[in-house]
Structure 1
Amino acid sequence: MSNPVLFAVDDDPGVLRVIELDLRREYGSRFRVIRADSGIKALKTLEQIKLRNESVGLFLVDQRMPQMTGTEFLEHAMKLFPTAKRVLLTAYADTDAAIRAINNAKIDYYLFKPWEPPEENLFPVLNDLLDDWLSSFRPPFQGIRVVGSRWSPHLHQIKDFLARNQVPYQCLDIEAKPEARQLVANLGSNVNELPVAIFPDGSYLVQPTNMQLAEKIGLKTRAEMPFYDLAIVGSGPAGLAAAVYGASEGLRTVLIEKEAPGGQAGTSSRIENYLGFPVGLSGSDLARRAVAQAKRFGVEILTPQEVREIRVQDPYRQIVLNDGVEISCHAVVVSTGVSYRQLEIPGIDRLTGAGVYYGAAMTEAISCLNEEVYIVGGANSAGQAAIYISKYARHVTILVRGDSLAQSMSQYLIDQIELTENITVQLHSQVIEVQGEKFLETITISNQITGEQQTVSTHFLFILIGAKPQVDWLCDVVERDKQGFILSGSDLMRDGKYPHGWKLNRPPFLLESSVPGIFVAGDVRHGSVKRVASAVGEGAIAIQFVHQYLSHI
């Protein structure tokens, strides 16, 4: 973190040099000394300091300067850094101006030139002012700041992308934070050009895409090599486990992820039934640990990067990325997981990201403070989200179509929900419509038994239902079931016959698809157990079959 700034402004080069030397000698170990020879130049520098989210502790400014007097400069500067101490340098003839500056620019002190010796006439005054400033100084946030409207779907997308990729950020609501409006004004932007992401070096991106953010923060989006032993598509628990075991056993491994490591599990607020973690761990923590472990073994992780298609050119598997780049490999593990099923009801598309969220959306939890929140879903992910959000919300209602939670939710979560006073479970219920202009305002709930409908006020609806496999890019390459899940192993055999197009003199391995060398692990596999531990297990097991496959090509 950069030290706070002491800013000296004087149009006399000799005086300015002396001021700088005195300040550096006395305060250089605790503060950064910056100088400018005019008020106009100083203001431009201040705008850059503000964009970098740095702090100014004190202004030491000469009154008599052309174009802009010291008082005029301080009146502008105090809008950018209102807490900074302000000292005006004057001559005896400028006493009246100094007095007026106390009223207009709210200066804290004025000093007569010359101030020699500084040990008697300068430092005692500045020491007192800086001690007072430091007593209330709180270091500013050092990271990415995102400015936008609270209900902007694009803002939600940026927050979700940064959070899931473990990148610290601060969100500033343009409607609620004066600081946000000042930043936008400094950039010369307007609300129609939001959201804007401002980086620690003062640079910024207007309405950035995930790819632009990734390149700016240093995520790897392009492969280093044209060929790998193993390519893994999807970095949920199954993909991360496959990456760790594959790379640790000597396979040149690349992991391709279109959003962020961790997959759906990475959005879980607390996983309490994962072996070896008696107090549980968050999905983001599990993802962070697994990514660090994979990188330690040399796994190359591309994110955000998407696979467009896969081609079979024996003995190679050609993966075509969304940007047109092709990666060649011997074996592929598909571990793309599943996504939540979307509700097809009136108003849903327009309000998605503006009060309606698919998944747990942990980035929005703090926004739920003292709000009425509704969650659609009855599986573990819905239960975990409800318990986490209940720490902020006034009340959380879980809407379940069935007659109990026991059909799809772990008992430990059901017990916690029953013990949480501000969580209610509403059975036989489904949302049939959402309403709102710029953001979600009400939802209509229907009881499937009685047909009764009720419209309730809420700004937050979280949808965690269904499981749709993310394998559209595979098209007709591998065999899938009616729901789109990938068939593998014995599920591919029909009356003892190999799957169509199978050319090898052996049946498919346990986790091998209908194409030799393309394996599947985790939730995207037909018949898989939708649990984190089983996904990790399948990812590890898949590598053993990869080795067997590679030994015979």
Structure 2
Amino acid sequence: MATKPIILTVDDDTQVLQAIARDVRHGFGEHFRVIRAESGQRALDVLERLRVADETVALMLVDQRMPGMSGLELLTAARRLFPEAKRALLTAYADTDAAITAINEVRLDHYLVKPWDPPEQRLFPMLDEMLDDWLADHPPEYRGIRVIGHRWSQESHAVREFLARNLVPYRWIDLDSDAEAPELLRLTGGADRDFPLLLFPDGAVLERPTTQEVAEKASLRGRAEVPLYDLIVVGAGPAGLAAAVYGASEGLRTLIIERDAAGGQAGQSSRIENYLGFPSGLSGADLARRATAQARRFGAEFLLTDEVVAIDGHAGVIGVSLGNGTELRAHSVVVATGVDYRRLDVPGADRLTGRGVYYGAAVSETSSVRGEVVHLVGAANSAGQAALHFAAAAERVTILVRGADLSASMSHYLVQRIAATPNIEVRYSTAVEEVRGRDRLEEIVLRDTADGHLTTEPANALFVLIGAVPRTDWLDGGIARDDRGFVLSGPTVRRAGAGRSWPLERDPYLMETNVPGVFAAGDVRLGSGKRVATAVGEGATAVMSVWQYRAGTGL
């Protein structure tokens, strides 16, 4: 049987070391093994032995001020042995600068100022959070879904991406490279099948399933429990999740409908480092997981893999139509469908999508690009985060930028980080002219935007993170939008010339569209900030507008 993952505590003060090991064992000993070390060098020796023994270290809780080897020096050395372990630093008030340095240099996950009493309030919540994050990336010995298919299959990519974005653990078995594939095919009926195949722990096999079929079998979909909701939120990105949290926490019967996966475009971000309250940053998947759990905790209901196709506004009750023909009703609706990345409009792009050309960070492809050459198109924060993420696995990452610099559209901290990463190259004044390949991406044609010169070079994977196209085609006719498709709300409803469609004497509330009781939040809204923090704020603000609307209509 596998041993428990390890929490390593390190402090040169024997009494402090005994106390923190006792507290950690008391709070987490049921699921983790706690090991102590009384110096940095001793801890490094222990870690080296654990590495040889193929043990798993989940967390290192290390004192900063130790003679011979500081906590920061230990964590720097330990990172090469257990790079995926969570790292926390015990500090004094005077050591804050060291903690900030550790965040930047060794990706410190947390720092804790001594003393930590009472541990139930000052220690356990911090450890709970880090260990939950670690467990999300390191599930127990795998007994879940297995996906069998070809790496360069669009259908296989779509299923893997759907599972990854919905945080459903799965194991990928490549028909072309995994030794166990032939035996599994024999046991499931032979190679004459439509791939991908999904094998479930209960013995069920799905052959080339739709995302709806996968969601149903994986118990993701959910269902509408009541015929009339106080609030329906369309879209489960940061804005939609925030609206669900703030609506449900204030007692509104809330349903959130999402066609793909919770987290939206932000959920594909490998690392968000400028979100308030997370000095070490967090991934988009972590943010989505936390927010979804928070919304569920307050009673919000989720309906996944269903798409809203129409909203029909009536006095006091708003109809919401789904693509499967279902009709739902609510007193208020928040539209938070976000944006999609703009498609790459060059020869070969559509044919090779999912076969080497991917939109967004494509979290399911991270392991596939190990040791390969990756190209990435885009110059915004999402592109910078993706480049840094892939650089940890790929041989080389090349960012293709139409402009002359990154600073106009990318945060300063990302520009600096990219410049300091040796296997990332930024190629300015460059655009993709064509992508080529027979069954998968093999090469790309690049154009110098200054002189028009064309060059061709081999490529294993091309990730496209360009532009913002709002998900609003389904709103045709009813809800006012600008000429690019962004939803008008609040003062812009009248200023933009849509006032003729506003039916009431009062002005629209701050986040209200031209249909009373229907609100917009996040990137889908004209004038939004296109940042995670602003999207979350808009989701909360939309619920404030909902309450204004309810008060005004006597709901």
> TM-score range with shorter-chain normalisation?
0.7 to 0.9
Structure 1 vs Structure 2 CA RMSD: 1.5
* 1:547 match: 547
* 2:196 match: 195
Contact 1:263 / 1:337 at 8 angstroms: preserved in 2? yes
Contact 2:480 / 2:498 at 8 angstroms: preserved in 1? no
| 1:225 Cα offset (Å) | 1.2
* 1:170 match: 171
Q: What is the CA–CA distance in structure 2 between the aligned matches of 1:441 and 1:201, rounded to whole Å?
A: 39
| 1:222 Cα offset (Å) | 2.7
Aligned-residue identity in percent: 53
The letter for the 1-side match of 2:369 is C
| 1:378 Cα offset (Å) | 0.3
Q: What is the CA–CA distance in structure 2 between the aligned matches of 1:185 and 1:499, rounded to whole Å?
A: 65
* 1:84 match: none
| 1:140 Cα offset (Å) | 5.9
1:474 correspondence with 2:481 = no
Paired residues in the alignment total 416
1:86-101 equivalence runs, <5 A: none
| 1:453 Cα offset (Å) | 0.8
* 1:527 match: 527
Contact 1:498 / 1:507 at 8 angstroms: preserved in 2? no
The DSSP-based 3-state class of the residue aligned with 2:305 is coil
* 2:236 match: 235
Contact 2:267 / 2:284 at 8 angstroms: preserved in 1? yes
Q: What is the CA–CA distance in structure 2 between the aligned matches of 1:450 and 1:395, rounded to whole Å?
A: 26
Q: What is the CA–CA distance in structure 2 between the aligned matches of 1:472 and 1:222, rounded to whole Å?
A: 25
| 1:452 Cα offset (Å) | 1.1
Structure 2 unpaired stretches of 5+:
3-139
The letter for the 1-side match of 2:314 is Q
The letter for the 1-side match of 2:376 is I
Contact 2:166 / 2:261 at 8 angstroms: preserved in 1? yes
| 1:142 Cα offset (Å) | 1.0
1:347 correspondence with 2:323 = no
* 2:65 match: none
Q: What is the CA–CA distance in structure 1 between the aligned matches of 2:291 and 2:217, rounded to whole Å?
A: 23
Closer, same or farther in 2 for the Cα pair 1:292/1:421, shift >3 Å?
A: same
| 1:202 Cα offset (Å) | 1.4
The letter for the 2-side match of 1:402 is G
1:311-322 equivalence runs, <5 A: 311-322=312-323
Contact 2:317 / 2:331 at 8 angstroms: preserved in 1? yes
Contact 2:223 / 2:302 at 8 angstroms: preserved in 1? no
| 1:503 Cα offset (Å) | 2.0
Closer, same or farther in 2 for the Cα pair 1:349/1:191, shift >3 Å?
A: farther
Contact 2:377 / 2:383 at 8 angstroms: preserved in 1? yes
Contact 1:487 / 1:526 at 8 angstroms: preserved in 2? yes
Q: What is the CA–CA distance in structure 2 between the aligned matches of 1:204 and 1:523, rounded to whole Å?
A: 38
Contact 2:509 / 2:548 at 8 angstroms: preserved in 1? no
Closer, same or farther in 2 for the Cα pair 1:192/1:448, shift >3 Å?
A: farther
TM-score normalised to the size of structure 1? 0.74
Q: What is the CA–CA distance in structure 2 between the aligned matches of 1:498 and 1:434, rounded to whole Å?
A: 42
Q: What is the CA–CA distance in structure 1 between the aligned matches of 2:166 and 2:348, rounded to whole Å?
A: 30
The letter for the 1-side match of 2:545 is F
Q: What is the CA–CA distance in structure 1 between the aligned matches of 2:248 and 2:386, rounded to whole Å?
A: 33
1:282 correspondence with 2:283 = yes
Residues 185-210 of structure 1: per-residue CA shift (max 9 Å, x gap): 21114255111000111111000110
* 1:438 match: 439
Range moving further from structure 2, 167-176 or 310-319: 310-319
Q: What is the CA–CA distance in structure 1 between the aligned matches of 2:316 and 2:418, rounded to whole Å?
A: 52
The DSSP-based 3-state class of the residue aligned with 1:263 is coil
Contact 1:221 / 1:305 at 8 angstroms: preserved in 2? no
* 1:408 match: 409
TM-score normalised to the size of structure 2? 0.74
| 1:501 Cα offset (Å) | 2.6
The letter for the 2-side match of 1:407 is A
* 2:426 match: 425
1:144-159 equivalence runs, <5 A: 144-159=145-160
Q: What is the CA–CA distance in structure 2 between the aligned matches of 1:140 and 1:295, rounded to whole Å?
A: 27
| 1:280 Cα offset (Å) | 0.2
Q: What is the CA–CA distance in structure 1 between the aligned matches of 2:465 and 2:498, rounded to whole Å?
A: 37
* 2:94 match: none
* 1:135 match: none
1:160 correspondence with 2:155 = no
Closer, same or farther in 2 for the Cα pair 1:191/1:348, shift >3 Å?
A: farther
* 1:307 match: 308
The letter for the 1-side match of 2:157 is H
* 2:502 match: 502
* 1:185 match: 186
Q: What is the CA–CA distance in structure 1 between the aligned matches of 2:390 and 2:528, rounded to whole Å?
A: 29
Is the radius of gyration larger for structure 1 or structure 2?
Answer: 1
| 1:178 Cα offset (Å) | 2.2
Q: What is the CA–CA distance in structure 1 between the aligned matches of 2:495 and 2:238, rounded to whole Å?
A: 31
Residues 314-371 of structure 1: per-residue CA shift (max 9 Å, x gap): 2211001111011001111000000000011111111000000000002101111111
| 1:498 Cα offset (Å) | 7.2
Contact 1:229 / 1:251 at 8 angstroms: preserved in 2? yes
The DSSP-based 3-state class of the residue aligned with 1:401 is coil
Q: What is the CA–CA distance in structure 2 between the aligned matches of 1:492 and 1:504, rounded to whole Å?
A: 12
Structure 1 unpaired stretches of 5+:
3-138
| 1:313 Cα offset (Å) | 2.3
Q: What is the CA–CA distance in structure 2 between the aligned matches of 1:297 and 1:266, rounded to whole Å?
A: 21
* 1:518 match: 518
Q: What is the CA–CA distance in structure 2 between the aligned matches of 1:253 and 1:305, rounded to whole Å?
A: 16
Residues 283-302 of structure 1: per-residue CA shift (max 9 Å, x gap): 00000000000000100011
1:79-90 equivalence runs, <5 A: none
